[in-house]
Amino acid sequence: MKKWISILFSTLLWPLSISASPPTYIQGESIFIETGVTQPDRTPTWYAPMVAKPYAPVFEMLATRGTRGRYNAYTYAVTIKDMIKWHGHDCEGTSHAAAAAKVAFGILFPDGIIDRSVLWGISGTSPCWSDAVAFLTGARLQYGNLGYFKNKDYGHAILLYREDTNMAVLATWKQGINNIPGEPVVLPGKINWKPKIDMQKVIDLKKEVKKAGGKPDPYQVDQLRYYQWAHVNDVLSHPLEDSYQAKIIKNFKWEDWIDPKKVIVSPHKRGDIPLKNYPYRDRPIQQPPASE
């Protein structure tokens, strides 16, 4: 997986090397962040059985210390299980969005440290996907750095933008694990393995449930849940690059991609990141002499 990400990053980044901006920091040179120091929660439970699958993504997240602090010296681990708790329920959308984000982050952050202070994100209007983007990036509507795709064909894709390097990556599933009726896969990749669940059966069932107008057959509800549960666990039993794909967007402009009708006109200035690189004092604080 790491070898694949390294090759993909080098291949895709090369054409952009002239216009790319320098990163906020370089791990091991201008900063040292310790990773792998918190244990990811990979214990399966009824609402997150997929978290124990071999390729369920784990994210090493970097944030600032408090609302006016510097960068932390450590990352913290995040899994799909954490995302489900925040989103409110487990669903195939959260798992797919997490997996697509993992592939995109491999390009944006080749050192494996996901810096939430430099990220913007775009998703479709599904809360499963938009919550995943907001949770992993720290982007928010009120900051003006969380948006929704203008083109509805991208409803089940995500776009992550790293502002310090001026790089944007579009990520989505490959043809063969997609199961949204009437929605195309917006990148050309196709899977080369056979899912246990026939995606056409899932698409047909989703159509039938929708056609029922809020009153589907009870068995259809159970069957759809089974299909989605089995599908997610199946997908995360394979390397993520077998099922998901990503592409660097050249000459990216935020306004070209977002729906202008779904933005806050006057976004708030983000207050938790201005001091992330603030210098340290030259010497320890001197204590005043003790009174005699």
What pLDDT is stored for residue 287 in this prediction?
A: 75
Using CA atoms, how far apart are residues 48 and 224, in angstroms rounded to an integer? 17
Exposure letters 250-277 (e unless 16+ CB within 10 A, then b): eebebeebbeeeeeeeeeeeeebbebbe
Q: Which residue has the higher pLDDT, 117 or 13?
A: 117
Element of type H or E holding 223 = helix 218-235
Q: Is the pLDDT of residue 117 over 80?
A: yes
Q: What band does 2 get if pLDDT is binned at 50, 70 and 90?
A: very low
What pTM was computed for the model?
Answer: 0.89
Strand 76-79 versus strand 58-62 pairing type: antiparallel
Average pLDDT, stretch 258-274?
93
Q: What are phi and psi of 271, to 5 degrees?
A: -105, -5
Largest CA distance in the chain: 86
Average pLDDT, stretch 212-229?
96
